[in-house]
Amino acid sequence: MKIQLSDHFTYQKLLRLTLPSMVMLVVTSIYSVVDGFFVSNYVGKTPFAAVNLIMPFLMVIGSIGFMMGTGGGALIAKTLGEGRPERANRIFSMVVYLSVAFGVVLMALGLLFLRPVACFLGAGDELLENCVRYGRVVLLATPAYILQFEFQCLFATANKPGLGLFITVAAGLTNAVLDALFVAVLPWGLEGAAAATAIGQCVGGILPLIYFAGENGSLLRLGRASFDGRALLQVCLNGSSEMLSNIAASVVGMLYNLQLLRYIGENGVAAYGVLMYLSMVFNAIFIGFSVGVAPVVSYHYGAGNQAEFRNMKRRCFATVAAFSGTMFVLALLLAKPLAALFVGYDRELFDLTAHAFLIYSGSFLFFGFTIYTSSFFTALNNGPVSAAVSFLRTLVFQVAAVFLMPLLMDMEGIWWSVAVAELLALCASLCFLKGFQKQYGY
């Protein structure tokens, strides 16, 4: 039976609704994981460290897709809930067209500043050249990369999460198969891994564009659009937290790499890269859940269905708690096997990575609540509060921890800093939820 935004949601229906979005985001996060696996095992440790060093910069460029997708999705779903489908489609079309334009501009800027950024991040000699070789190929797909992130959010708003899942899986399989071909079979090295990622992003970004441009059975369709400054401002405010979260996480990743180069060296950057790949998959589950459920929250808020609005809030946080506990246990059990998958060829690097992941896994108990709290306020079209939650979590607490914890615990402090920062972010999220409880009536 088809799920509608206006339905009453049980836990079973909530999971059915959000599963496609969770799988979509997990598959997307596996792009980098697949690249990392093939580069580490078939190209070498230094190229693997280079991919990890430049990846945060590439993610900053793509973060505008999350802003336009989550912010646009919240406003579009709220507009649909208010019974104005024509205006919702105009906003949808404007968001997509502007995203393509932004993508072209960001591609050009990324190619221009790629080498200076890699130098700033501490790359030199062979590490620098590897960063440039990988980055300049991936950057060519920037417009599609932005659209891919955007449509992952908007498929849920269009009430077509299953189709979004199909396209994302197709993009992921494209990336994985081409990685195996270009890196393991053909001697294309870093450029091959980058080309596989870029082509996968084109599949994930261009196929949805073709679908929404024609007749379709969803709630949304691309058509004529006029510039609406007020709506664009609302979209940017709504989605600012998600963009800020991605940018801040990337900036923090750069700072971690600088600290690791200082305290440990190249092995530290490689070990941290493995943690980031695995963390991206775990994060993707919470982000996918939040993206999948956000249109329902926005719809019932816009329609004034207070009872269902409160029901969604209660069930969503209970589900996040269950996911958090499960992921923490899995992380403890799989630390060594996952480390061996990436760096099992180097005993010293393997021991460092497995040890670091056991400490890092404590953060999985906390960050799901903060991710969903930020998304919850985005769904309420309260961009400033959502941005404040993300800003504290992904920048303030993380930056403070990565600089202060090593002073207290030396090298160990770097691995502990993420869990400490996430615990502080959880406390801040609970304060925001309590402070706005009366205003929204949840």
The encoded tokens of residue 418 equal 């993420």
Quick check: is 4 in a domain?
no
Query: How far is residue 310's CA from residue 8's CA, in Å, rounded to a whole number?
Result: 11
Examine residue 59 and state whether it is found in any structural domain, yes or no.
yes
| Averaged pLDDT, 302-325 | 84
| Helix segments in 216-265, DSSP class H | 229-263
Model confidence over 338-360: pLDDT tens digits? 888 888 778 888 898 898 899 98
Would 211 be classed as within a structural domain?
A: yes
The pair of structure tokens assigned to 386 is 């959502």
Give the DSSP per-residue string, 267-279.
Answer: HHHHHHHHHHHHH
What confidence score (pLDDT) does residue 114 get? 92
pLDDT tens digits along 2-31:
666 666 778 888 888 788 778 877 877 776
Q: Please give the mean pLDDT across all residues of the chain.
A: 84
Whether 324 is in a domain gets the answer yes
Alpha-carbon Rg for the chain, nearest whole angstrom, is 21
With a cut of 80, say whether residue 86 has pLDDT above it.
Answer: yes
Tokens of 158: 């269009």
- Would you say residue 250 lies in a domain? yes
Higher pLDDT, 117 or 384: 117
Of 33-37, 81-85, 118-122, give the lowest mean pLDDT range: 33-37
Contacts of 37 (CB under 8 A, 6+ apart): 341, 342
What span, in angstroms and rounded, lies between the C-alpha atoms of 98 and 101?
Answer: 5
For 213-267, what is each residue's pLDDT tens digit? 888 878 888 888 888 888 888 888 777 766 777 777 777 777 887 788 778 877 8
Question: What does each C-alpha distance from 394 to 73, 248, 364 come to in angstroms?
Answer: 22, 5, 14
Those residues whose C-beta lies under 8 Å from the C-beta of residue 87, and which sit 6 or more positions away, are 79
**In this structure, what DSSP letter does residue 8 have?**
-
Closest to 30 measured CA to CA, from 324, 277, 286, 337: 277
pLDDT at 105: 94
More confident residue, 272 or 425: 425
Query: Given this model, what pLDDT does residue 326 score?
Result: 92
232 contacts 67 by C-beta, under 8 angstroms:
no
Per the listing, tokens 């269905």 go with 305
Please work out, in degrees rounded to the nearest 5, the angle formed at the alpha carbon of residue 286 by the alpha carbons of 149 and 379: 70
What's the domain range around 32?
11-440
User: Which of 380, 386, 387 is CA-nearest to residue 295?
Assistant: 380
Over the stretch 373-430, which tens digit does the pLDDT of each residue have? 988 888 887 878 887 888 888 788 988 998 899 888 888 888 899 899 999 999 999 9
- For residue 99, give every residue at least 6 positions away whose Cβ sits within 8 Å of its Cβ, in sequence order, or none: 64, 65, 68, 143, 146, 147, 150
**Interval 74-98 mean pLDDT:** 87
Per-residue pLDDT tens digits for 154-200: 887 887 877 887 888 888 889 889 988 999 888 888 899 899 989 99
Contacts of 418 (CB under 8 A, 6+ apart): 360, 363, 398, 401
Model confidence at 1: pLDDT above 60: no
**Is 6 part of any domain?**
no
Which of residues 122 and 129 earns the better pLDDT score?
129
* 3, part of any domain: no
Which pLDDT score, from 0 to 100, does residue 382 have? 81
Whole-angstrom distance, CA of residue 323 vs CA of residue 222: 36
Task: Strands of 307-421 (E only): list them.
Answer: none
| Positive/negative CA dihedral, 259, 265, 271, 273 | positive
Looking at residue 309, what is its pLDDT?
Answer: 80
Task: Please compute, for residue 250, the number of CA atoms within 13 A of its CA located in the half-sphere on the CB side.
Answer: 17
Question: Quick one: pLDDT at residue 134?
Answer: 92
Task: Give the pair of three-digit tokens for residue 93.
Answer: 């079309």
Q: How many domains, in total, are found in the chain?
A: 1
For 43-75, the pLDDT digits (tens) are 877 888 788 788 878 888 888 887 888 888 878
**pLDDT given for residue 321 in this prediction:** 92
Distance CA 141, CA 154 (A): 20
Among 134-148, 166-180, 278-292, which stretch is predicted with the lowest mean pLDDT?
Answer: 278-292
> Residue 5's pLDDT is what?
67
